[in-house]
Amino acid sequence: MTISANNPNNKTWLEVPKNSDFPIQNIPFGVFQTQDGVIRIGTRIGNTAIDLGALQQLGYFEDIALSEGAFLGDSLNEFIAHPKEIWTAVRNRIAFIFDVLNETLKARKEHCEEALFDVATIQNLLPAQIGDYTDFFSSKEHATNTGTMFRDPENALLPNWLHIPVGYHGRSSSIVVSGTEIYRPKGQTIAVDAKQPTFGASRLVDFELEMAFITTNANELGDAVAVNDAENHIFGMVLFNDWSARDIQKWEYVPLGPFLGKNFASTISPWIVTMDALEPYRVASPKQEPKPLEYLQQEGDKAFDIKLAVGITPENGQETILSNSNFKYMYWTMAQQLAHHTVNGCNVRAGDMMGSGTISGPTPDSYGSMLELAWRGTKPVKLNDGSERKFINDNDTVTMYAYCENNGVRIGFGKCEGKLLPAK
Amino acid sequence: MTISANNPNNKTWLEVPKNSDFPIQNIPFGVFQTQDGVIRIGTRIGNTAIDLGALQQLGYFEDIALSEGAFLGDSLNEFIAHPKEIWTAVRNRIAFIFDVLNETLKARKEHCEEALFDVATIQNLLPAQIGDYTDFFSSKEHATNTGTMFRDPENALLPNWLHIPVGYHGRSSSIVVSGTEIYRPKGQTIAVDAKQPTFGASRLVDFELEMAFITTNANELGDAVAVNDAENHIFGMVLFNDWSARDIQKWEYVPLGPFLGKNFASTISPWIVTMDALEPYRVASPKQEPKPLEYLQQEGDKAFDIKLAVGITPENGQETILSNSNFKYMYWTMAQQLAHHTVNGCNVRAGDMMGSGTISGPTPDSYGSMLELAWRGTKPVKLNDGSERKFINDNDTVTMYAYCENNGVRIGFGKCEGKLLPAK
């Protein structure tokens, strides 16, 4: 199916500010609450949030094979469970409804009043009910940096890293939407050379600059998803801050992996940008040497050129951008991650989420965590106000940004933001 | 509230075979499908499955503060989200309805026809929609055995083990109910001294004898559950086989923990035995030395005397019981696990599940995995038919059993069973 919604020449009758993340070429999906307390499933164009459940009931999707409840309820899971062709058809239809030359909805004031909302008046909610969340560790630069710091610079990558998109299961319950405030976690840590751990607030809270993808019902238990079919089971992507308490993690994680150092909170951006919308921004992924095993051998360009940035804003202060990275640096692609995840027959469901792992670029100003930017505290980072950071301070707000741009079109993810409150 | 349902003198007008796991003193909760295709939420007494949604609609719970949908839908999550007092009241009421001296339901044939089913005619389904699944590693004997095998017998326990109920996140989507057949997983493994991994079916598929508990909405994000309050947030327990592919896990698990070696399947018994029902079987847990940090210091007996067994049945063969263990051996209690899990503010929801980790006893005939029973393949285990096992063969059925017994009352968990099919 042609993705007519991606046409760079499309224009809309809705107002779209210059450099908006949400031009008519984006059309992401999300869930929001309006001032009357109603939870709505919708999209966003410019600064207008659009209730797709209302549009469906008004007949705007009548000839598309959508279930009755596709845009009702409080999550996108039912819509995501539809076939990929339906996602494409709905997004194309939204582009058509809001096209500058289409007066059908525009001329019906009562329909507009029912379905359109100023984003300043809505509250974004989690877009999907996330069943299982998996976090990968797929940036070679990040894996090399942490291996260099904590183990051996000569053998920074562990033996399995170049063969496996290493991943582990994370916690779904504590995934929150951008804007949610986070408490500094408490837990056990152990001082260098100490024999006994102590209990208290983590001193080393960090962000992790990640992106994540949301899947549909990809396979039944016992079946595998082929690497070159994998993208058909990915609905879209969000920006993702997988907060970390480095000191808690260090003491707990051998041998079974990260646990309380990670599961106190993870923040995602509210609008799921579809794989359709990202299609124009495909690029080649880094060459893989050694060649991976056959089930991981992919054809075509499976990376995406998504520009990333992270800023810290102290309480009542100004933001300092600390890092500029790019999703295209990822060594393992989403297709390889999903193929690997299912190669043992593990079933993946609509609304499951898989994180990329920290996305670090090749240069020190493109690292995706404070751990790397301040190099384990040895090179504190300076903020614009003159203060320094080794990790995140209480009442700092961490904000992540992501956008793609080419052919005069720029689409973005909106903010992924969270403030770190002092320990409770 | 008094747990009148636990009275050892209670008798029921339903037929209960001798040594049934489900006397009137058990009254577990589960979900099942009847031959008409209807999914029902219910309990079991003897060989009778009881539709609690039907009983509620017939007015049998009228004065209990249950939501309308408590026993409708296809999972126990809504009922579990009720306060603990409601769980107790409903279970006490069920004991009363089916008491040998109570003719109210018994005398109404049309009510019995609507609500009672022979268990031979039903199919058990997953009792809860499991949001997040966490697996602990809380048997000291098991941790010592694996540490001895794979690392250093002199320092078998890692430094954190005596301070932390070590745990990690598992996969919810692949948790299946007893009776579901499992495919031998495929994946990457690496031969000893090999430089490159290869791809194929796992050769070292194992069971892990565990129990798991199901929680209610325990806390909001940012709050912690106190160790001595923790049991109030536990609805009940199931028997649990956390299947493992040892060779896949060995190659993948450093540094982020087990992933594809575990997430191909986990099997649970279908009936959740409530903490109320387990109350008479409380015992002291092993002495903890060193004393844990304050947030893990518990009062009173928080272990449970639950006898466990595992058997293997070859295709068309007879069962051999390979291990007899007990849940009371666990070093860390469920209360400590839940307190630890939330001490950083991680939120726990109704329907979440937490596994104990492999439950190994002090003697070789009480180990909870083939890895330990056959000591890494060096001491193959003999079956009754004369064949030997180092791990699980294709078409072997693994069956786990669990029951408590004292004061003349025996309550059990029913089977937790799964057959291992050849790789697909």
Contact B293 A199 (CB under 8 A): yes
> Residue A1's pLDDT is what?
75
Low pLDDT (below 70) residues in chain A: none
Complex prediction ipTM: 0.97
- Residues 121-140 of chain A whose Cβ lies under 8 A from any Cβ of chain B: 131-132, 137
> Residue B271: helix, strand or coil by DSSP?
coil
CB A319 within 8 A of CB A310: no
Q: Would you please indicate which residues of B are annotated as catalytic (active-site) residues? A: 142
Closest-CA distance, A392 to chain B, in angstroms, reads 17
Contact B160 A223 (CB under 8 A): no
Query: Is A344 within 8 Å of chain B by CB?
Result: yes
Q: Which of A171, A254, A345 sits opposite B346 (nearest CB)?
A: A171
Looking at this protein, which amino acid is placed at residue B402? A
Q: For residue B105, what are the contacts with CB-CB under 8 A and spacing of at least 6?
A: B55, B60, B97, B98, B111, B112, B115
Query: Is B166 within 8 Å of chain A by CB?
Result: yes
pLDDT classification of B45: cutoffs 50, 70, 90:
very high
Strand partners, B410: B405
Tokens (6 digits) for B27: 């009254």
Query: Is B424 within 8 Å of chain A by CB?
Result: yes
Asked whether the CA dihedral B380, B382, B383, B387 is positive or negative, the reply is: positive
Give chain A positions within 8 Å (CB) of B255.
158, 253-254, 257
Catalytic residue status for A142:
yes
- Asked whether residue B1 carries a pLDDT value surpassing 80, the answer given is no
Longest dimension (CA), chain A: 73
Share of chain B above pLDDT 70, in %: 100
Query: Is A295 within 8 Å of chain B by CB?
Result: yes
The reply to whether the predicted model has a pTM over 0.90 is yes
CB A395 within 8 A of CB A314: yes
Give chain B positions within 8 Å (CB) of A149.
none
Residue written as token pair 């070429």? A25
Strand partners, A105: none
Query: Is A343 within 8 Å of chain B by CB?
Result: yes
Q: B120-123, long-range: CB within 8 Å, 24+ apart, which pairs? A: B120/B47, B121/B34, B121/B35, B122/B32, B122/B33, B122/B34, B122/B35, B122/B49, B123/B32, B123/B33
Sheet of B39-45: strand order equals B116-118, B48-51, B39-45, B30-33, B123-125
Cα atoms in the 13 Å half-sphere on the side-chain side of A287: 2
Q: In which region does residue A166 sit, left (phi positive, over 0), alpha (psi from -120 to 50) or beta (all else)?
A: beta
Contact A221 B295 (CB under 8 A): no
Tens digits of residue pLDDT in A394-422: 999 999 999 999 999 999 999 999 999 99
Tokens (6 digits) for A201: 């607030």
Contact A160 B252 (CB under 8 A): yes
Give the span between the Cα atoms of A25 and A12, in whole angstroms.
10
Tens digits of residue pLDDT in B221-276: 999 999 999 999 999 999 999 999 999 999 999 999 999 999 999 999 999 999 99
Give chain A positions within 8 Å (CB) of B174.
221, 345-347
Closest-CA distance, A263 to chain B, in angstroms, reads 6
Give the span between the Cα atoms of B55 and B79, in whole angstroms.
14
Which residue in chain A is spatially nearest to B186 when comparing CA positions? A344
Among A359, A145, A124, A329, CA closest to A241:
A359
Contact A263 B346 (CB under 8 A): yes
> Residue A34's pLDDT is what?
98
Give chain B positions within 8 Å (CB) of A424.
222-223, 345
State the Cα torsion B369-B375-B378-B383 to the nearest 10°.
-40
Q: Quick one: B159 exposed, middle or buried, by C-beta within 10 A (0-12, 13-18, 19+)?
A: middle
Give chain B positions within 8 Å (CB) of A168.
168-169, 256-259
Closest-CA distance, B184 to chain A, in angstroms, reads 8
Helices (H), B241-299: 246-252, 275-278
Count CB atoms within 10 A of the CB of residue A154.
7
Among A339, A330, A127, A308, CA closest to A235:
A127
> Residue B330's pLDDT is what?
98
Query: Is B81 within 8 Å of chain A by CB?
Result: no
Give the span between the Cα atoms of A331 and A317, in whole angstroms.
36
Query: Is B205 within 8 Å of chain A by CB?
Result: no
Give chain B positions within 8 Å (CB) of A185.
344-345
- Does residue B290 have a cis bond before it (omega within 30 degrees)? yes
Count CB atoms within 10 A of the CB of residue B219.
20
Supply the mean pLDDT for chain B.
98
Tens digits of residue pLDDT in B393-409: 999 999 999 999 999 99
Q: Which of B172, B251, B346 sits opposite A264 (nearest CB)?
A: B346
Interface test with A, best of B344, B394, B421 (most A CBs within 10 A): B344
Give the span between the Cα atoms of A60 and A53, in whole angstroms.
10
Tens digits of residue pLDDT in B90-149: 999 999 999 999 999 999 999 999 999 999 999 999 999 999 999 999 999 999 999 999
Size of interface A-B (CB pairs under 8 A): 191
Query: Is A66 within 8 Å of chain B by CB?
Result: no
CA distances from B85 to A6, A202, B78, B235, B424 (A): 56, 36, 15, 11, 47
Q: Quick one: A319 exposed, middle or buried, by C-beta within 10 A (0-12, 13-18, 19+)?
A: middle
Count CB atoms within 10 A of the CB of residue B191.
11
Query: Is B343 within 8 Å of chain A by CB?
Result: yes
Count CB atoms within 10 A of the CB of residue B316.
6
Give chain B positions within 8 Å (CB) of A418.
none
Helices (H), B58-190: 77-80, 84-97, 109-115, 140-150
Contact A290 B137 (CB under 8 A): no
Give the span between the Cα atoms of B96 and B103, in whole angstroms.
10
pLDDT classification of B69: cutoffs 50, 70, 90:
very high
Tokens (6 digits) for A222: 């016992």
Contact A186 B347 (CB under 8 A): no
CB A269 within 8 A of CB A239: yes
Q: In which region does residue A324 sit, left (phi positive, over 0), alpha (psi from -120 to 50) or beta (all else)?
A: beta
Give the span between the Cα atoms of A267 and A255, in whole angstroms.
26
Closest-CA distance, A376 to chain B, in angstroms, reads 18
Give the span between the Cα atoms of B175 and B241, in whole angstroms.
10
Pairing assessment for the beta strands A381-382 and A388-389 based on DSSP bridges: antiparallel
CB B316 within 8 A of CB B43: no
Which residue in chain B is spatially nearest to A189 when comparing CA positions? B160
Tokens (6 digits) for A243: 């907060």
Tens digits of residue pLDDT in B173-222: 999 999 999 999 999 999 999 999 999 999 999 999 999 999 999 999 99
Pairing assessment for the beta strands A234-241 and A198-201 based on DSSP bridges: unpaired
CA distances from B51 to B10, B68, B91 (A): 21, 15, 13
DSSP state of B96: H
Give the span between the Cα atoms of A6 and A90, in whole angstroms.
13
Tokens (6 digits) for A195: 């024999």
CB B262 within 8 A of CB B249: yes
> CA B416: distance to chain centroid?
8
Q: Which of A197, A257, A294 sits opposite B199 (nearest CB)?
A: A294
CB A181 within 8 A of CB A418: yes
Tokens (6 digits) for A66: 């959508």
